[in-house]
Structure 1
Amino acid sequence: MAVSATNTSNEVVASKLLPGSHLLENFQTLVDSQPLGSALYHSSVNAIATTVLALILCSIAGYAFEIYHSRAKDAVMAILLLAIMIPFAATMIPLFRLFAQLGMVNSTFAVIVPLIATPFLILLFRQASRSFPHEIIEAARLDGLGEVSIFARIYLPTMKPTLAAAGVITFLFSWNNFLWPKVILVDNAYQTLPMLLSNMRAGYVTDYGSLMLAVFIVSVPTMVVFLALQRHFAEGVTGAIK
C-alpha cells in the first residue's frame, strides 16, 4: 500500500514492487480531485466524539449493572444480550426514518448516536467490574464520598485497561464505519474518509496511485491508536473475560 502510493496508476496495475517518485504528484491529484481535508475533519470529529461519549455512557452503565442491585437488572441484561444478536443493518431503515423525521439527516449527531451505547461495550465494562472490590465502595461511602466521586476517583482509575480496550474498539469501528454514514449523510459535503475511498472507485477511470495514497492516509490513525494502546488493549480484553 505504501509503495503503491508512490507509483503511477499504470505501475500499480502492473504490480510494481519498488517505490516510485510520484508521491507528491499523487497527493496533489488527490487534493485537487477529492475533498480530503473535509473528509478528514468529519471522520475525526465522528470518531473522537463517538469514542468519548461511548466510554462515558458504557462505563457508567457497566458500573451500575455490577454495583447496584435491582430486580429489573437481570431482565435488562437479557435484553442487551439479545440486542447483540440483531445485525445493525436490520435497524438502519428505522433509524434513518427517525432521524429524517427529526430533521437530522446530514448531521454529526445522527452519525454518532447509534454507536455511543452499544451492548457489547456495556457488557465489557460489566464483566471488568466484577473484579472490582465492593469493600472499597462501602468504605468510600462511610468516608462521605458521593456516588459520582466514587465512580470518577476510585472506579475509573482501576478500569484504565478496559477503557483503553473499549476506546480502541470504538475508535477503530467509528473511523472505518462506512455503511451507516453512507446512509445518513446524503450530501457529499459531509462525507467521511471511507466514503471518499468509495467515491474514488465510482468513476469510469480510477487513479490507483492516488487511491493507494488515500488508503494509506486513512490507515495511519488506526495504526497509531492501536500501537499506542496495544498493551492496555490486551490487558483490558483479558481482564474482561476472566
Structure 2
Amino acid sequence: MTKRYASATQRRLIPTYIFLILWSLFSVFPIFWMVTAATNTSLDVAKGKLWFGNQALINFHHLLARADLFGGLGNSFLYAVVQTLLAILICSLAGYGFELYHSPSKDRLFGVLLLAMMVPQVATMIPLFRMIASAGLLNSVWGFILPTLSTPFLIMLFRQNSRNFPRDIMAAARLDGLSELQIYFRMYMPVMKATYAAAGVITFMNAWNAYLWPKVVMTDNRAQTMPMLIASLASGYTVDYGLLMIGVLFCTVPTLLVFFVLQRQFAEGITGAVK
C-alpha cells in the first residue's frame, strides 16, 4: 500500500519535474551562450552560432591588447573584498545592537534608518561626489566603498536573524566574565556565520557589479573596475562580440565562484537559520 501510494505521488510530480527542468535550462542558457560566444568570432556570434568555436585564445589576446584586464580584475577584487569585510562588520554590529540591546528609542531610530532604503542612489550621487572630491578620495578604494559601508538592507538582515540568536548564551558568557565585545566576536559571530555568509555574498556581488558610482568617482583609467572595462569594450561604432563576451566571462566567473562556494550558507542566512 505504501509503495503504491509513493508511486502515485511520484507520477503526480512528473509535470512539476518537467517544468523545473525546462525552467532550469532556460535560466542556464544565457551563461551557456556567453561561454560559447567567447570562443567564436564576432561574425559567428552575430549569425547566432550556439556552439563552441576555436577563437578563444585569439579573443583573449585581443582583450589583453585592448584593455588592462588584470588591472581591472585587481581593482575589482580589492574594492569588493575591502567593502565586503568592512560592510559586514559594521552592519552586523548595528544589527546586533538594535536587536540584542533592544529599546523603544532604537526601534524609532531603526524605522528612520529603513526610510533610507526608499531614497534612490542617484538622488544622493552629486552630494556624495562633492564630499568624496573635497576629501581627496577620488580614484581610491575609500572613495569607492565609503558610501556603501553601511546599508539599511544589511542592518535589517542582521537584526532580523539576530532574533534567532540564543539569549542564554549571552547570559552565560557574562557570568564567565566576558566583555560585550568578546561576546560579539566569540559567541555571536560563530553562531551567526550563515548570516555573515549571506551578507558577504550579497555585498561582494553588489560591489563587483557596481558601475554607476565607480564611473563617477574613478576618473583615472588605472582605477577602473571590470564593469567599466566591459563598458569600454562595448563602445564605438563596431563591437567585437567575441572579444566582448570573453571580457564578460572574466567579469562573471568570480561572482559565480563566490556564490557556488557559499550557496548553502547563503540559503541558510537568507531564511534566518542559526546553528
Who is 1:40 aligned against? 73
Residue 214 of structure 1 is aligned with which of 222, 241, 247?
A: 247
Tell me how far apart the structure 2 counterparts of residues 103 and 155 of structure 1 sit (CA, whole Å).
37
Structure with higher RCO (Cα < 8 A, 6+ apart):
1
Who is 1:2 aligned against? 35
Structure 2 residue identity aligned to 1:40? L
Tell me how far apart the structure 1 counterparts of residues 267 and 62 of structure 2 sit (CA, whole Å).
40
Structure 2 residue 106 is matched with structure 1 residue 90: no
Tell me how far apart the structure 2 counterparts of residues 34 and 69 of structure 1 sit (CA, whole Å).
52
Structure 2 residue 147 is matched with structure 1 residue 109: no
Q: How many residues align?
A: 240
1:169-221 per-residue CA deviation (whole Å, 9 max, x = no partner) reads: 00111100001000111112211000001111111221111100000111101
TM alignment of 1:1-242, pairs within 5 A = 1-239=34-272
Please give the secondary structure, in 2, of the residue aligned with 1:105: coil
Tell me how far apart the structure 2 counterparts of residues 125 and 71 of structure 1 sit (CA, whole Å).
18
From the CA coordinates, give the structure whose radius of gyration is larger. 2
Please give the TM-score of this superposition, normalised by the length of structure 1.
Answer: 0.96
What runs of 5+ residues in structure 1 fail to find an aligned partner? none
What runs of 5+ residues in structure 2 fail to find an aligned partner? 1-33
Select between 133-142 and 230-239 the one with higher mean Cα deviation. Answer: 133-142
Tell me how far apart the structure 2 counterparts of residues 134 and 4 of structure 1 sit (CA, whole Å).
53
The structure-2 alpha-carbon separation of the partners of 1:69 and 1:17, relative to structure 1 and needing over 3 Å to count, comes to closer
Please give the TM-score of this superposition, normalised by the length of structure 2.
Answer: 0.85
Structure 1 residue identity aligned to 2:188? Y
Identity %: 53
Shift of 1:225: 0.7
Shift of 1:75: 2.2
Tell me how far apart the structure 1 counterparts of residues 168 and 47 of structure 2 sit (CA, whole Å).
66
Shift of 1:81: 1.0
Please give the secondary structure, in 2, of the residue aligned with 1:2: helix
